[in-house]
Structure formats: C-alpha cells, structure tokens
A and B are shown apart, each in its own frame.
Chain A
Amino acid sequence: MNIMDALLSQYIDAYYLHIMVLIGINIILALGLNITTGVTGQLSMGHAGFMSIGAYTAAILSIHMGLPFWGSLLGGATAAAGFGFLLGLPTLRLEGDYLAMITIGFAEIIRVFFLNFEPGGKALGLSGIPEHTTFSVVWMIAIVVIVLNVKLLHSRIGRSFYAIRENEIAAEAAGINTTRLKVLSFMVGAFLAGLGGGLYAHYMTYIAPQDFGFMKSIEFLNMVVLGGMGSIPGTILGTVVLTLAPEMLRIVAEYRLLFYGAMLVILMIFRPNGLLGDVRWYDIKKRWFSKEVKTWES
C-alpha cells in the first residue's frame, strides 16, 4: 500500500489527494448516519459526537497505549458503537423530534466533556497523533464499508430497517423486533462514525473538541438528506457534492458559507427528495437492459 501511495503522490497534486481522502472519510461517516436516519428513519443530529468518541479513543490508544493503527481504529469504532447502544436505548420511548433533541444534547455533552478532558488536552486539543491514514487506506476501508452497506441493506435486517422507517406499527405487526433493530441501527451508525473519526484523527494528526461541534453533525445530516434518504449512491453523491462545494467555493473567498447556505435552500426547493431520492434504480435497470424492440410510433 505504501508503494501505491508513493505512486499516487507522484502523479496527483497533494491538494487533490487531500480532498479525496476527506471525501473517503466523509463517505464512511455519512453511510453510518444513512443507516440510522436515512434507512431506519431515526433522526440523529449528534453524529459528530460519535465521531469525536472514535477520534479521541483511537488517538489515545495510538499515543498512550502504543496500539497498532488497525487496533486503535477498531477500538475507537467499538467505543463509539458502545455509546450508540446507550443512545439507542431512549429510542424505545422517544421518537421524531424528541429523539433529535436527545441526540443533539448527547453530542453537546460529549463535546463539553472533551473540553474538560485532561488526557485529551482539554480545549487545546490533542496533537502528535501518528499519521497513518493515507489515500489507499481510506479508500480501501471506504470500499469495504460501501460493499458491506449494500449487503446489509439487502439482507433481512436491512429490509427490516426500511420497514421500521415506513411504518413502525406495521413492521412490529409483521413480526419485526423493532426495539432490537432500532438500537442496532444506532450501533451500526455509531460504529461507522467512530471508524471515520479514528481515520480523521490519524489523518489530521491533531483533533480538538471544536472540530466536532453541532455544525459538524449538521454537515453529515445534509449529506444524507441532500443525496436522498436511505439511498447508498445518493449518500455517496451527497457526500461528494458537499465535501467539494466548500472547496469549489473558495473562489468566492469569504462569501463561501453564504453560497453554501443558499445552495442548501435552493437544492431543497428544486430537489425536495434529495438529488437521487426519487430515482428508481430498478426502472433504470429495466429500461437499460430491456430486450423489447421499440419501433417509432406512427
């Protein structure tokens, strides 16, 4: 893999490589939120909280425990999944916007915790994290995550997730253990967030609590909703668009966020279901591979 990275950095500009690494990390994170919010329909606005747990855990495991990269990544992701389990429990009683509020509160509490967390460097943040995340590592993991996501969503569990989103009572009546699956969807989402967080920490080599604020959670929610809720290609497209947008908008310098905000409104007005939200892949496939011979209408 080192050879591949060396080759890539020879032929591709460092800036583009940087953006592509960021896209890869964001795809992993956004696919996690897609499972919780897009597929299962449990509105989570605290994704950055899980990301920060993964990032800090992995960084501390790397620095203080001397664990190898893969070990600390896995450790971070598992810790995040554990918190995902805890946060999933209230979903048994709460729904909709009350749940959203709990997730916001959770992420804020985590942020304040890290602001006062001695081993994490408090408000100054944690620096000196070994740099392990490279282009090929990120994209290898991202591709594995995408493939596993497709597998998961086409499995019995994935279809149960969709069923819960569409109608929880009907899903329960059809014999789906909604309690267990809702908690599971939170855990899977948190696991991927923790994984992305660990990769992020080992890429930036420096993390601070303000990297994982409320606006970060909102960014991931934007990616999922903008691309099309519950659709994997949609989420990936949304992630690419929203990671590239701030970079492309650098030409307009300080007006960047102004355009970004306006872009969100305009995209929602013209594509209210997300970019790929109402694209039906089945129909496209059928049309594309259709053997029927069409003649001109006379």
Chain B
Amino acid sequence: MFIEQLVNGLTLGSTYALIALGYTMVYGIIQLINFAHGEIYMFGAFAGLLLVSVFGLNIFVALIGAMVFCMFLGMLIERIAYRPIRGKSSRLSALISAIGVSIFLSTLMALIRGTNTTRYPEIMKIHTYHLGSLDLSSLQIIILVVSALLMVGLQLLIQKTRIGKAMRACSQDLEAASLMGINANRVISYTFAIGSALAAAGGVMVGVYYNAVWPYMGTMAGLKAFAAAVLGGIGSIPGAMIGGLTLGVLEILGVAYLSSSYKDAIAFGILILVLILRPQGIMGKKITKKV
C-alpha cells in the first residue's frame, strides 16, 4: 500500500518536476515568474491530443510533436509579451504581462475546444505488472522513464553543450555574459523553448495518465509546479526536480492518509512549512544581502 502510493506520488511528482523546470530555468535567467507556463503545458496536452486523435500518430511521435510545437509557442510568447518590457521597468510589469498571456491562452483554448474535459483516445494496451504486493501499470513506468530521460538530457544539455554553458553564464550575470559576447536575447529565447518543450511533455503525459484534458488545467498545475520550483529553491535545476518529486509524493501520501478534500491545501501547507524553516528552498543557495 505504502509503496504503491509512493509510486503514484513519484509519477505525479515527475510531471510537476517537468513543468517546474521551465519556471526555474526562466527565473534563473531573467527573474520572471512566467505565469503563462501553465498554459503552455495545457497547449502541449492539447497538441498531443490533436496529433494522436486526428493524425493518428504514435504517442511517442505525438509527444515529440507537442514538444516542438510548444517550443515555438514559448519563443513566440517571449518575443511578443516579455522582450519589449524587459529592462524598461520592474519585474512586476512583466509578471502582469505574463498573467495577460495566461488569460489569453486559456480563453483561446476554451473558445476553440469548449470548456468541457476531453478524453484522450486509448493509445495503447495498459499492462499491469504485479511485483509482490505492488501493482505497477505500464503507463506509470513510461512516464517515469520518459521524465527521467528528459531530465538527464536537460542536465547534459546544460552541463556539456555550448548553449548550456551560455545559459549558465547568463544565469550568473546577464550583463557580464552579454559583455563576453553571448547573445543574451538568443539565450533567453532558447531557455523559453526548452522550458516550454518540457512542459509540453508533462502535459501530454498527464493527459494520457489521467485521461482528461481541459482548457483550465494549466492554472492549478502551474501553481503547483511553481510551488515545486520554489520548494526546491527557485533558479536551481536539480532543485526543481527534487521539489517536484517531493511535492508529488507528499501530496499523494497526504491524500491517502489524511483527507482527500484537503488535497490542494496539503501541497501548499507543506510548502509554507518548508519555506518558514528553510527560506531559500531545499537546494537554493543562501544569498547574503550586501549593501
């Protein structure tokens, strides 16, 4: 029972982690809470649905298709709504702009698809494996493996490639990095692209796992993922992964052992407790204020 809930929690947590990565990467570079990120995740889920049901593609191809679509969506949003404001005013203005984008996108999808939930078509036979007392569905294994692959891939990209190096430089000091000849605008654009692609992957997998997508699914998922990013220490990539998994596991365990009607309150309650005890998050660096 406990192990089974743990696996459920890890499955949910890995999708939180995928969305949280986008928040944390964008935050790490331009200190913006990208509130439209939840909507990108929603668009990813719908793009996957479209590819699977209309074009009849394999789910893995659809996953990649949705990721590519959201990559461009993320870059487009950054170009239209954030770049013109950047450097001109406070971060709060960019935040409001992000909220505007978020309202725009969720309304757009509600107009296109209606506000009802849509079911994913049956994409594959779901096997259930019995390991002792543990029931493990093939879907859970796929979600865990795909998320793990994506996270390892992201780590390699950040640590080993040229663009990853540029991203790390920009997150340390945007101005100094651009003085060193890094095209900061392009790096920011790529950051949005990568973060959005990961969110799309999360969206498709949540859609398949819970068998439902709807236009306003992004709001709560976005809030939870932001909570996960903050829990892990915002700006830190391993932090977002750990934060997402922790939040998912604790939420499922809380629902299983405490009360299901307080599901959303549990996640935020844990978050508040952790932040009061450890204000910089689990993996966050302690910043000393300097005059």
A contact residues vs B (CB 8 Å cutoff): 43, 90, 93-94, 97-98, 100-102, 104-106, 108-109, 112-113, 115-116, 169-170, 214-215, 218, 221-222, 225-226, 229, 254-255, 257-258, 260-265, 268-269, 272-274
Contact = CB atoms under 8 A, between A and B. Distances in A.
A225 B111 contact: no
Contacts of B90: 229, 273
Interface stretch (B43-51, B61-69, B261-269): B261-269
Given A97-B230, A109-B265, A169-B289, A258 B281 contact: no
Interface in B248-291: 261-265, 268-269, 271-272, 275-276, 279-281, 289, 291
B103 A264 contact: yes
A254 B215 CA distance: 15
A169 B269 CA distance: 30
A94 B279 contact: yes
A98 B281 contact: yes
10 contacts: A94-B279, A104-B268, A105-B268, A106-B272, A260-B100, A261-B99, A261-B104, A265-B104, A268-B85, A272-B85
A186 to B, nearest CB: 15
A221 B97 CA distance: 12
B92 A229 contact: yes
B89 interface: yes
Interface of B: 27, 33, 80-81, 84-85, 88-90, 92-97, 99-105, 107-108, 111, 219, 223, 226-227, 230, 234, 261-265, 268-269, 271-272, 275-276, 279-281, 289, 291
Given A98-B279, A261-B103, A262-B100, A104 B223 contact: yes
A108 B17 CA distance: 20
Given A93-B276, A169-B289, A268 B96 contact: yes
Contacts of A221: 95-96, 99
A274 B88 CA distance: 12
Nearest to B264: A112
Contacts of B226: 101, 104
B102 A225 contact: no
B92 A97 contact: no
Contact of B272 (A102, A222, A255, A265): A102
A225 B89 CA distance: 11
A116 B262 contact: yes
Contact of B111 (A109, A226, A254): A254
Contacts of A262: 100, 104
A261 B77 CA distance: 13
B81 A265 contact: yes
A274 B291 CA distance: 28
The 9 nearest A-B residue pairs measured at CB:
A264-B100, A261-B104, A105-B268, A272-B89, A261-B103, A112-B265, A257-B107, A265-B100, A268-B97
A112 B261 CA distance: 8
A31 to B, nearest CB: 17
A108 B268 contact: yes
A102 B281 CA distance: 12
A260 B104 CA distance: 7
A112 B85 CA distance: 35
Contacts of B262: 112, 116
Nearest to A265: B100
B261 A116 contact: yes
Given A97-B230, A104-B268, 11 more contacts: A94-B279, A98-B280, A109-B272, A169-B289, A214-B223, A222-B96, A255-B111, A260-B100, A261-B103, A262-B100, A269-B97
Contacts of A101: 226-227, 230, 271, 275
Given A104-B223, A222-B96, A260-B103, A97 B33 contact: yes
A131 to B, nearest CB: 31
Contacts of B281: 98
Residue picked from B107, B219, B227, most chain A C-beta under 10 Å: B107
A94 B275 contact: yes
B261 A108 contact: no
Contact of B96 (A108, A169, A226, A255): A226
Contact of B27 (A90, A97, A257): A97
B276 A90 contact: yes
Nearest to A43: B92
Contacts of B289: 169
Contacts of B279: 93-94, 98
A112 B263 CA distance: 8
A258 B272 contact: no
A108 B27 contact: no
Contacts of A257: 103-104, 107
Given A97-B230, A97-B234, A261 B275 contact: no
Nearest to B271: A105
B99 A115 contact: no
B268 A109 contact: yes
Contacts of B33: 97, 100
Given A93-B276, A98-B281, A101-B230, A225 B96 contact: yes
Nearest to A274: B93
A219 B139 CA distance: 39
Contacts of B85: 268-269, 272
A272 B111 CA distance: 29
